[in-house]
Amino acid sequence: MFHPLHLIPPNTKIDFVAKRWLAFGVTILLVLLTVASLSTKGLNLGIDFKGGILIEAKAPHAVDVSALRAELGLLNLGETSLQEFGGPDSVLIRVQRQEGGEEAQQRAVETVRAKLGAEYEYRRVEVVGPTVGNELLHAGILATVLAVLAIGVYVGVRFEWQFGLAAFIATLHDVFVTVGLYSVLQLDFNLTAIAALLTLAGYSINDTVVVFDRIRETLRRQKATDLRAVINDAVNQTLSRTLMTAGTTLLALLPLVLMGGTTLINFSAALTWGILVGTYSSIYVAAALLIYMPPLRRIETLRPAPAKK
């Protein structure tokens, strides 16, 4: 006979709401650490945002990206990143912007070409100026903020505005402290980092919506007016699902963190940290914020009418 797998026993009764102050304390600490790091260290902007040189080249054979990366690293051109592009015989090379004007950039291009040799076919050579990089940075930040805001608006329309505001705060927290990770560890902050933040925002709200949906379902099914009890029940009922989803996702990310190399570490490390923070905020923070907002309409309708004098 088939028995469903329960990572958490079905009758678990953890009082998450009672521990909300500890969770809020951790949240405030992470936010303060992020603000302090951004104020002192800032972000280690990558080539996409600082400007630099972009070279797309095709070889007559499969390219050993790791060996080529090591060779180009000896040219003393600063930050240099390589990735396979379109096939094993094509490579995309990014070199940071050199000190000096256009002549300095062209010298760097010729240095890379000399190292690669005449056997390579150069399909694209571009020099990204700092103005374009600055525009990309602003566009990336704007896209992330608008995505988080849109998530909050959607949840507010789908549920009630209190849920939308709580979802916006929790998702913004997850994204912001992940930006803090980039600052603390001085990981390259580039377009891949923006993609990681947007991915994280979508993952984070997924868990939060599951908890919110259970809260709404409980309010519809039970004649309950104690929001704290409803929140605890909802989080406990979805706890197994939340932990299993986070656990399986982390299992998929772990090989990328350990063996993905420098090309993937920015993306995989940020997602790993973001999933840990997002899971914690979905369990402890997002729903608990509802306690400090005006009562939900469902609870208002369940309250007994005042006795007539």
User: C-alpha angle with apex 284: 230 to 29, nearest 5 degrees?
Assistant: 150
Fold annotation for 17-43+133-298: Multidrug efflux transporter AcrB transmembrane fold (1.20.1640)
For residue 309, the model assigns a pLDDT of 45
* DSSP annotation string for 13-35: ---TGGGHHHHHHHHHHHHHHHH
Q: Do domains 17-43+133-298 and 52-128 have the same CATH topology?
A: no
Element (H, E) at 72: helix 65-73
Residue 127 bridge partners (DSSP): 53
d(CA 189, CA 199): 15
**With contact defined as beta carbons under 8 Å apart, do 231 and 215 qualify?**
yes
For residue 36, the model assigns a pLDDT of 93
**Per-residue confidence in pLDDT tens, the chain, 309 aa:** 445 556 666 677 777 778 888 888 888 999 999 999 989 988 887 777 777 788 888 888 888 888 888 888 777 777 777 877 777 788 888 887 777 777 787 888 888 888 887 788 888 787 777 666 677 778 888 888 888 888 888 888 887 888 888 888 888 888 899 998 888 888 878 788 888 888 888 888 888 888 888 888 877 776 656 778 888 888 888 788 878 888 888 888 888 877 766 667 778 888 888 888 888 888 888 888 888 877 665 544 444 444 444
Q: Name 191's Cβ contacts closer than 8 Å, sequence gap at least 6.
A: 46, 48, 136, 140
- Per the structure block, which two tokens stand in for 271? 């997602």
Q: Which CATH number fits domain 52-128: 3.30.1390.10, 3.40.50.300, 3.40.50.2300, 3.30.70.3400?
A: 3.30.70.3400
Per-domain residue ranges for the chain? Answer: 17-43+133-298, 52-128
For residue 235, the model assigns a pLDDT of 82
The Cβ of residue 99 has, within 10 Å, a number of other Cβ atoms equal to 7
Q: Which of 187, 195, 192, 151 is nearest to 172 (CA)?
A: 151
Residue 225's SS3 state is coil
Phi, psi of 83 (to 5 degrees): -155, 150
Q: Which of 269, 271, 214 is nearest to 241 (CA)?
A: 214
**With contact defined as beta carbons under 8 Å apart, do 201 and 175 qualify?**
yes
Residue 189 bridge partners (DSSP): 45
Residue spans of alpha helices (H) in 86-190: 102-116, 130-158, 161-185
Relative to beta strand 44-45, strand 188-189 is: parallel
Q: Which of 178, 182, 171 is nearest to 207 (CA)?
A: 171
The Cβ of residue 209 has, within 10 Å, a number of other Cβ atoms equal to 19
